[in-house]
Structure 1
């Protein structure tokens, strides 16, 4: 066999020498016997080509070729061609690597290439412990070196066995990588391997890398240009993790590390929605030291235990809560109210100008003034339910279609930069890359259903009253329950592939729930003049549209435009609230006062000082939040969509706090049911907020930068902190809704003409 090998070398050298010629001198081919692990300095020029012949090696490890030189003209490099029995590898020294900048090229004078073992199939399928045993393998190499330089140049080469090529679980490995010295290793699943393993990668510098997982067949794509065309890959600078399923890469896989010549793929410049920071071109002698390890992920039993256990826990929570609600509805504060079997009908007479003026000039308004249309109030209330359901249906269908397409693209291309997962706690299942973050939204869905059952029971027990208590209509509460369910569905859709482009899927129905809460609180004391569902959802739609514009183009101009528009809206709503919906009539009354008395204290002094102070405080809070928003934009602290959501949630908290405080000021008490739900809800909110603020991903930066925030699982070895936020915020919303539903039970038997409006 060896005779035939050298005879083939002789024929190749002879044919090359006889067929190639330069302008004046014939090309001289110099064959040379070479030894493994020997550093060989080779001096050559345009007339001399060296061929290094290595004996066959029985080593089970592959070999790595190192080639380096000094002071070689990059335009006349040394060309290296390594022939194996089944493949040929070639490159130049210095190696030319293009950056992402136009016409910017870096030259690397220190290079290395790992030669894929020709017998990888036999080694990986027939050799479980990577020992020689009865397995017989061989490798052979012929290395040709040539150049077009007319002057002598010297290059050093070494062909050395890669003794750390096969890696094992639960061991930390250190490797050095540069743009011209990529590295790859091989991991084989064994009988003790879990169904999935997690590869964790750490680095102490910001060198941009591509980490790739490829199947265990040669050739291995390990250059900057082709590493993305095989297997699963992601960009990494300081931290990365890839979850690999055994069923996709049996019996094992190559783990490839490729350093990039610049930071473009890890910088904001490569983002779909870029920020101001740009990439930087690295020096051409840059290297990075990586630490990586491979660990077992969770077992199928742990999958089932976490998934089924959480579902059972949520159901138990819902059943117990529903039982408590049923008891409260029958034996609580509301049970003491008298019920009336009366026919409800509206007063169809519209308000006269005299009545409107009396309302505007009245210092103490009562609910009976704004509760003359109970049937219309009921219809308006249930309009919110129908609108919420319709919007949810038409909004959810394209969302589901889009995110499922995203997941299919990720599965087909292997590009893990498309989605902002917490890769240190991302458990794949059912073709989804991150099943746990999808599944943890089950709390919103189930608890939303339980809340609807709670509303049904309360509606069955507590009938509509005409003259006592706050007008009882349940359409808004049903809408809240539906919104909670849809929030769970859309949040699950978002977490199929979380990214900059679909962040609104996770927040749209948060806007809806916030607005529904504020509308419900205003409806309690202003039932006749409350906003219709058409107006409310038009405002929500505009808010979502503004959020989209802010996310796509979050420039200073957009922020300033929003702040100005929002300020105008605040002023208009303030006038509408102060003049209890009759802004034009209120302006006329102000003009009459001004005309009769001139500009004096009596003219500008508010008639309803409590209402004026509440509006003033709300305005101060809103303008303060706008100022904070401008500050966080200038300092790149957060994005426009998150700021807008925080603005809405802040107003929701203000409305709830204001309503509660005003009840106490007007000597109304907080019934014990509402107090219990409020305290428990607050405890859930505080706990959930702690986990929410400790984020494990950040889509406002690049995928590589986001991975620096990744954290391990903390609950049942299946859920991370954001999953816990999902599981805790669902009951927090549930108890918040219940707090609002029971908040006015203390005045359920009080005549409406004695219930203050605020």
Structure 2
């Protein structure tokens, strides 16, 4: 035990204790750091020295204490050495429970830490300070009670030390945090933060203003036409009259009849009651809203825990930030990466408002029995659009959660709703021309859940595992063939003796005759099997995005081949979105950090801020990709506006 009697705050005394197999050093006053790097000075310091093993119990052991200081004045201190006669407890035969309880009556209960450490050999010296008691062995924080289960296998030397350390602060065991005023000189920083926030809000609120300027004149024009008489019903040009069908009871048998026609029109696949389909597609929105709540709550809780661990331990290797452009705010280490996700939320909300306005106008047209709304254009179903807008908002929330502490264990948070968005967009494209036979919400989300499951498995077990890649490639090809068969026969196929013949027919028509879908699938699966990318989640997401882009290109080509046209607004959206996607991908591939490497290797990719001295390349990716997704949604929404005056029995199915 050392007690320094003179004032040595500026020039502490340094004690070095040299033993046969260990060296212990400490300074007095001793400086310990608590939560959030707060400093505490101690004038009285005690250290426990362990006795190394000896060849005989009569062997004399020596230790030496060296004392030094840089002080120009004489220093006064007291040094006392005492022998502790208690021997370490013997290790149990298998396991035992160690209980620690205070005497009665209970004294005040400061925060303690109880530790069990191996006592001999390489475990010398004893770790008995607040800042090192957790280095080895097992430990628990405690106030009045604690219990640790001790197992023989954890103590090869057959003995252990029990160490109890009083914590520097009570917050570790639930005490209140003291108030600390903000440091001086925050004015400049506050100005930078406010400018960055206003910049984000200004960019995305301008889309609200632009939408209002476009929608308001249209809404006024729509209201002025409400009293105009509806036009007469046009003669049906379809080879099969709608009135010949009971659209609820006989719809399944009708599919077999319609399937024999050489050319299909939207009227042939839009025979179900609108109320039935409306409820069917509304389930997409309610399901994704439910998924979002139950998915997001534990995610938020987990990333808060990650950030707390970083703040308390000071371990900067836990999270893979761009440290050269990481602006903290409160407990958050990289607030800029979180703020830049605001666009997903705001633009997702704007898209929901646009869909709501369209649905209100459409319902008004139905109420006044407008034949154009009843019989013309692509059938209007808004449930999938609502689901897409919700998914975009959730992508922003979960991406922000991921960037609280980016690492490989929570990367799935950043990609899960990207899978949702890609899947919902493909479903919406298919629904446009196949409203009666589109997948139900339950089966669609079940398939997306399987994809997310494979994403998690691939991240954990996929790296360098050939068996996993073989298994995944087989599943990928089989699932694609089954889906192709489902789409080709429009759901009218069964597992029977002719299933192989039908699959071969699909392969011939789609792969050999037209050289389309399955060739891409096989080549994509072969690429994954041969290259085995380290980032399996991004590889799986790339598959979904490529499929969506191919399907979208196919839809536009078939639309133009069918004699349809693209109006000015969707054409401008396509051009604008394509340009923004190009710039967004450029910033995405800058790679400012990567959890596929060690923290030190990841920091080699770090770069300085490039926008407002606050945002880095990845933040700009967030800005641009949110705008590009919003534009892509608008393309899907407005792409078939040219058909609003065309009867459904003239609109081709493809």
TM-score relative to the length of structure 1:
0.58
In the superposition, relative to structure 1, how do residues 339 and 380 fare at CA in structure 2: closer, same or farther (>3 Å)?
farther
Q: Residue by residue, what CA displacement relative to the aligned partner does 1:89-111 show, whole Å, maximum 9, x if unpaired?
A: 35699999xxxxxxxxxxxxxxx
Q: Does 1:531 align with 2:439?
A: yes
Gaps of 5+ in 1: 9-57, 63-83, 97-112, 122-147, 149-156, 162-217, 232-246, 252-295, 595-602
Q: Residues 507-656 of structure 1 correspond to what in structure 2 (within 5 A)?
A: 507-554=415-462, 555-584=465-494, 616-633=515-532, 637-656=533-552
The residue aligned with 1:363 is 262
Query: 1:751, CA displacement in angstroms?
Result: 1.4
State the Cα distance separating 1:615 from its structure 2 match.
Answer: 7.8
C-alpha contact (below 8 Å) 1:385/1:475 kept by paired residues: yes
2:630 corresponds in structure 1 to: 734
Q: Name the counterpart of 1:389.
A: 289
By how many angstroms is 1:560 displaced?
A: 1.4
Q: Cα gap change, 1:613/1:661 in structure 2, threshold over 3 Å: closer, same or farther?
A: farther
Q: 1:219 to 1:502 in 2, by over 3 A?
A: closer
- Cα deviations by residue, 1:648-668 (Å, 9 ceiling, x for unpaired): 111111111111111011111
Q: 1:568 to 1:699 in 2, by over 3 A?
A: same
Query: Which moves more between the two structures, 556-565 or 310-319?
Result: 310-319
- The match for 1:258 is none
Match of 1:375 among 272, 275, 290: 275
1:628 CA drift (Å): 2.2
Name the stretch that deviates more: 502-511 or 319-328.
319-328
1:691 correspondence with 2:591? no
Contact 2:488 2:506 in 1 (8 A): no
Aligned counterparts of 1:456 and 1:679: Cα–Cα separation in 2: 25
Does the residue aligned with 1:523 lie in a helix, a strand or coil?
helix
Give the Å deviation of 1:421: 1.2
Taking a change above 3 Å as real, the CA distance of residues 620 and 606 of structure 1, as seen in their structure-2 partners, is closer
Considering fraction of residues, name the structure with more strand: 1
Aligned match of 2:346: 446
TM superposition shift of 1:565: 0.7
Equivalent pair of 1:314/1:443 in contact (CA under 8 Å):
yes
Alignment partners' CA distance in 2, 1:114 and 1:425: 38
Q: Summarize the alignment of residues 69-148 of structure 1 with structure 2, pairs less than 5 Å apart.
A: 85=13, 87-90=14-17
The answer to whether structure 1 residue 721 and structure 2 residue 617 are counterparts is: yes
CA RMSD of aligned residues (A): 4.5
C-alpha spacing 1:650/1:589, structure 2 compared with 1 (3 Å): closer
Q: Deviations over 1:609-657 (max 9, x none)?
A: 6x78898512222222222222331xxx431111111111111111111
Instruction: Give, in whole Å, the separation in 2 of the partners of 1:89 and 1:538.
Output: 65
* 1:301 maps onto 2:197 in alignment: no
2:51 aligned residue: none
Listed as ranges, the matches of 1:213-612 within 5 Å are 299-327=189-217, 347-351=247-251, 353=253, 355-373=254-272, 374-462=274-362, 463=365, 465-554=373-462, 555-584=465-494
Q: How far off is 1:676 after superposition?
A: 0.9
CA distance in 2, matches of 1:473, 1:339: 22
Deviation for aligned residue 1:587:
8.3
User: Does the alignment pair 1:748 with 2:648?
Assistant: no
What SS class does the counterpart of residue 480 from structure 1 fall into? helix
Tell me which residue corresponds to 2:554. 658
User: How far, CA to CA, are the matches of 1:477 and 1:339 in structure 2?
Assistant: 28
SS at match of 1:89: strand
Q: Which residue of structure 1 lines up, in the alignment, with residue 578 of structure 2?
A: 682
> C-alpha separation between the residues in 2 aligned to 1:650 and 1:746?
27
Alpha-carbon distance in 2 for matches of 1:249, 1:672: 54
CA shift, 1:705, in A, is 1.7
How has the CA–CA distance of structure 1 residues 115 and 297 changed in structure 2, closer, same or farther, with 3 Å as cutoff? farther
Q: Aligned equivalents of 1:621 and 1:530: distance in 2? A: 23
CA offsets 1:309-367 (integer angstroms, 9 cap, x no match):
211321123221343244567779xx99996799x9972232465x4444333331111
Q: Distance in 2 between matches of 1:306 and 1:681?
A: 24
The alpha-carbon distance between structure 1 residues 495 and 604, as it changes in their structure 2 partners (threshold 3 A), is closer
Deviation at 1:117, TM superposition (A): 9.6
Contact 1:116-1:220 at 8 Å conserved across structures: no
The structure-2 alpha-carbon separation of the partners of 1:723 and 1:614, relative to structure 1 and needing over 3 Å to count, comes to farther
CA distance in structure 2 between the partners assigned to 1:519 and 1:720 by the alignment? 34
Deviation at 1:561, TM superposition (A): 0.9
1:165 paired residue number? none
Give the C-alpha shift of residue 488 in structure 1. Answer: 0.8
What is the alpha-carbon distance in structure 1 between the residues aligned to residue 644 and residue 495 of structure 2? 32
Distance in 1 of aligned mates of 2:497 and 2:256: 11
The answer (yes or no) to whether the contact 1:378–1:475 under 8 Å persists in 2 is: yes
Is the CA contact 2:355–2:382 (under 8 Å) kept in the aligned structure 1? Answer: yes
**Change in CA separation of 1:299 and 1:565 when aligned onto 2, cut-off 3 Å:** same
